[in-house]
Structure 1
Amino acid sequence: MWSDNECQSDYLSRGEVVRAAVALVSRRELLPLSVGIFGDWGSGKSTLLRLIKADLEQRSDKDDRYLVVEFDAWLYQGFDDTRAALMDVISDALLAAAKENQTTAAKALSLVKQVDRIRLLGKAGRMALDYATGLPVGTAFGALWDVGRRAMESGPSPEDVATVEEAAGEIASEAKNLLRERLPQSAPREIAAFRRHFNEVLDGLGVTLVVIVDNLDRCLPESTIEALEAIRLFLFMNRTAFIIAADQAMVQSAVKKHYGTDSANHAHFYLDKFIQVPLRLPYAGTGEVRTLLYLLFAEAAGVDETTRATLAVVLGKLNAEGNRPVRDVVLAASPALPTELPAKFDLADRLAPMLASAPGVQGNPRIIKRLMNAAQIRRAVAADRGLAVDEELIIKVTLFERCAPDSFATLLEMIAPTKLDDLVKLESVAAKGESGPLPNLPKGWEAIAPTFLSAWFALPPSFKDANPAPILYLCREVLALSGSVMLLTGAAREAFDVLAEADRVQSPVSDEVIAKLSPHDASAVMSELIGKMRRTADWKRRVPGVAGAIRLARSFDAQGSVLASFLSSLPSIPPWLAALIDKEPWAAPPLIADKVAKGPGRLKPPSL
């Protein structure tokens, strides 16, 4: 399993973006500066911000010092005014940095107080707007306005009375907070004072302030605009740089919603006012995805961070050169890697082209990690249940689930033994490599991209020699499998049909079908027979399936203990059943002695 959070190292060979951002911030003549790191959700923006922060902190020296401040816009949404929260975070960081310089510390403390005054000014402005317009916009005033309107229409309710009492308390608290400190008289004066104190603190510290803003695109439109407006306050201050990571389309959508416009140009130009230098993350191709998989597998194998960083450099160089035997070069560069990694690297080589191009994935690193984690969870469940299943087959099925979710249930139905031949036929057609859609696709599969289907079918391993039962069990949250005979192989299904109706333990027909079963098939048949018996309410007379289950247990010792466990759950065992199992080795006397009924009517229906 891999963490869903940002990586500690460059797993996608994007060092050039990090170096470009750091180089821009390092040029004093460009300050103040705002840099945008644009990319889709999950494309690795947060990882790049972490790498940029680490690079700047390593570069700090007496002549070129950086104070890096991180601001997560999403963290404050709904809890604070985003504008004031950003100013708070920055002023607190400056105060902490200035603690050893008494003069600068005093100015930094003044800056902190200035933020509090601006926050008060904002609250007072909203309350004044409520009062002046008669149109309350949120908080306690909004609640009172709604109550008043309802009271005029139909009279106050008990709930309205409670709302008035609560809102009155909130208004009193707001007023009390505003009176604790003299209310600012002029917003321009307060903002000008803040900017002046801010520049004085930076000059006193002798540092370049770099503010890293993340998760802006996760915010609601109002919070997104508030954060951008707060950034505007700092854009023209000396020794200041902002690095803002966001999904550009999401931010532009927030601008449209906030201002009530459908104009793409308006949203585009609005964002351009805040971002001076946009850096767009390149899409991850096959080489980058292979690098990601190599490093993820190395991480899972316990390879230390230093060695992984070395591998990342080697892989990045190979990606730039192209057409090199990547696996062999990597293994030669790090001969002490764990022995299981060469096979994992082979798997990465097979998966990378698919993950780079498959719809619904398209090289997105977070989606790839989540897909691989989902496969790992299913693998862990298989190991816990003792199911023998190929890890690559689990990944192959999970990939289809991600890329064609609407058709996944149909795939599982085709994996069932009764339809597996149809799936294998499609595999053989895809293996020919002919262009165009595959013939005889299941209903609904026409909407799946033909290139994806052909590549997916060609991805090893084949379903031809696969045991479908474990895969279906692992995907039972998608397809209900309880008591479903469709899971049985052809031989197992034939055995179940015969044994479920057998009225005698000794039967040549039963012996014939049991002889064809593997241990796995025998386990599946016993499970189905027990499921059938559990649905029987009246055990006074012979129950269909019991004779066949006893015969199966004679041929497969492991199934004897399974059957004994089920029978031991019965409240009592009727005489006819006691006579059948009396001499069976798995029905030891302690197991059934206290269960045997002394007469008819003693037996209750088994628990379902």
Structure 2
Amino acid sequence: MLAQGMVGSMESSQGFAGDSPDEEPQPVAAGAFRQQFAELMESLDGVRVVIVMIDDLDRCLPHTVVDTFEAIRLFLNVDKSAFVIAAHAEVVQAAIDQRYPGLRRSGTSGLGAEYLEKMLQVEINIPALSAPEAETYMHLLLSELHLPQDQFTVVKAAVDQRRRGSALGVALNVGMAADALGPEMPPELYQDMIWAAAVAPVLGSGLRGNPRQIKRFLNTLKLRLASAERRGTTLDAAILAKLMVLETQYLSDFQRLFDWQSAGPMSGGENWLATAEQRSRGTWVDDADPARNEAPEAPPASGARRAGRGPTRRASSPETARAGTLDEEVRTWAEQLHIDAWLRMEPALGGRDLGPYFTFARAKLTLGANTALLSAHIQELLGHLQSDVASRRRAAVRQAADSVDAADLPTLVDHLLQAVMRDPAGSATDGVAELCERIPAVAPAVCERLKVIPFEILQPKITSLVRRLPESDPNVSALLDGWQANPSGGFVRAARQRGRH
């Protein structure tokens, strides 16, 4: 089926004959065109091979991807010619599947993979950068930014030589740059390489060693620093880099940190981050149980991490001891492995004014700007309705049902739905489902927002939503019908049936 469809498309491809510009071009059959091209290649005595490079094919629309491959097929199997295609294979496969949806077979992912297998003779997968390679790449980019061309050439030569000796280790860091440059090492480069070394391991793994994304991260950071400087604000590049790691990879956690910081000293927002960092770094004292803080914990074996993330009881300074107990919600947040790694990164952020840094991320923090106009009671409920702690979230649902005026309820729901739209798989979705279950009147507004979220993105939460949304509301029934009709929505019917019993 695929071969016949492709041949039909090729036969209709336009090649033209006719020497005079005044003549009407006449179509040439695909076979005749290939023959003419072969004769042309054969006549090129001084040419060994013609190589056609096609880059960024995965950035094209699906029909363009397929049309390009159909055009390439006109030139295949001709001596002295070759095509090199640089593209993300999965994106190209998806484009082919989308162009020929009728050829999808039940139980398979489509024909895109088979199509590429027949078209491509050699496939070369470019590996992602390892953590040492990502760090080296970041330091090279910073060196290129700060150094004149002659000094940068010296640094690159040193990197090349070091990589020939060991391809798996870090080939450029601040010490290696100082060795290569000597007293000509710029202070700005030294400072940038210090913070780059701190964020490189987490950034490299989170961005899957993608050089383009690493370069985009550095470009964005430098742009924000320059923008702040033009406004008369001085930002610490190390602090900005650490915050941007969280923003780039875990936006919902970044939003949560912003919400806590926005709460201000009255709610202990500043101490929460300091205490979370102390806990992760092994200097936290649990004030709730002073007797258990007397004996220091034995350090782990070299290279080992502590199993679990329970409280660490070690000798500490009075300043550390005053940090207090860790709030349950912040504890749950800090116990996530990626947050634990982020908290241990330098520099420590506890006790710092992060307001100027969040200013330059406000495009992604729409909720924070709006919540500033809400009453303290609504803001507190809004935070608890997004909690990872189920008991706190459900208590907030009960409190909202009992204490929020009917005039204020749409505002609360609207802000909660903004959080759902930013992170459909987050705890805010659980909060909005539980709120619907307790206050069915909010269901129409909730359904209006949920129906625009792609099924695949919302899928981890759909069973919980089906169980809690009041199906007696026609808006809910229509929403569930749409989910059930999705090719991957077979489980929705079973979940609805369980909900009726």
> TM-score by structure 1 length?
0.46
- Tell whether 2:131 aligns with 1:286: yes
Q: Distance in 2 between matches of 1:303 and 1:442?
A: 49
Q: Distance in 1 between matches of 2:114 and 2:370?
A: 57
- Which one of 397, 406, 421 corresponds to residue 271 of structure 2? 421
1:320 is displaced (CA, Å) by 1.6
Letter of the 1:468 partner, please give it.
Answer: L
Q: Return 5+ residue gaps in structure 1 as ranges.
A: 1-81, 88-113, 119-176, 487-608
Q: Distance in 2 between matches of 1:441 and 1:369?
A: 37
Contact 2:38 2:79 in 1 (8 A): no
2:45 counterpart SS class: helix
Letter of the 2:122 partner, please give it.
Answer: V
Deviations 1:17-41 (A, max 9, x none): xxxxxxxxxxxxxxxxxxxxxxxxx
Letter of the 1:300 partner, please give it.
Answer: L
1:180 counterpart SS class: coil
User: Identity of aligned pairs, percent?
Assistant: 25
Q: Distance in 1 between matches of 2:153 and 2:145?
A: 15
> TM-score by structure 2 length?
0.55
Pairwise mapping of residues 74-473 of structure 1 onto structure 2 (< 5 A)?
115-117=15-17, 180-181=23-24, 183-184=26-27, 186-200=29-43, 203-260=44-101, 261=104, 263-264=108-109, 266-304=111-149, 306-307=153-154, 309-314=156-161, 316-317=163-164, 320=167, 322=169, 326-335=173-182, 336-358=184-206, 361-416=207-262, 417-418=264-265, 419-432=269-282, 434-436=306-308, 440=327, 442=329, 450-473=336-359
1:344 is displaced (CA, Å) by 2.4
Q: Distance in 2 between matches of 1:368 and 1:323?
A: 16
User: Structure 1 residues 393 and 83, CA, compared in 2 at 3 Å: closer, same or farther?
Assistant: farther
1:187 is displaced (CA, Å) by 4.0
2:74 counterpart SS class: helix
1:293 is displaced (CA, Å) by 0.8
Pairwise mapping of residues 437-516 of structure 1 onto structure 2 (< 5 A)?
440=327, 442=329, 450-477=336-363, 478=365, 480=368
Deviations 1:466-524 (A, max 9, x none): 223322433343255599699xxxxxxxxxxxxxxxxxxxxxxxxxxxxxxxxxxxxxx
Q: Distance in 2 between matches of 1:392 and 1:281?
A: 31
1:244 counterpart SS class: strand
Q: Distance in 2 between matches of 1:445 and 1:365?
A: 32
Q: Return 5+ residue gaps in structure 2 as ranges.
A: 1-8, 283-304, 311-325, 375-501
Contact 1:430 1:457 in 2 (8 A): yes
Contact 1:290 1:349 in 2 (8 A): yes
- How many correspondences in the alignment? 315
1:212 is displaced (CA, Å) by 0.9
Q: Distance in 2 between matches of 1:275 and 1:426?
A: 52
Higher alpha-carbon deviation: 475-484 or 257-266: 475-484
Q: Which has the larger radius of gyration?
A: 1
Higher alpha-carbon deviation: 234-243 or 323-332: 323-332
1:258 is displaced (CA, Å) by 1.9
User: Structure 1 residues 255 and 483, CA, compared in 2 at 3 Å: closer, same or farther?
Assistant: closer
Deviations 1:232-268 (A, max 9, x none): 2333222222221110111111222222225347322
Contact 2:52 2:84 in 1 (8 A): yes
Contact 2:132 2:168 in 1 (8 A): no
Contact 1:318 1:326 in 2 (8 A): no
Letter of the 2:180 partner, please give it.
Answer: A
Q: Distance in 1 between matches of 2:77 and 2:23?
A: 32
1:455 is displaced (CA, Å) by 1.0
RMSD: 3.8
Q: Distance in 2 between matches of 1:221 and 1:482?
A: 39
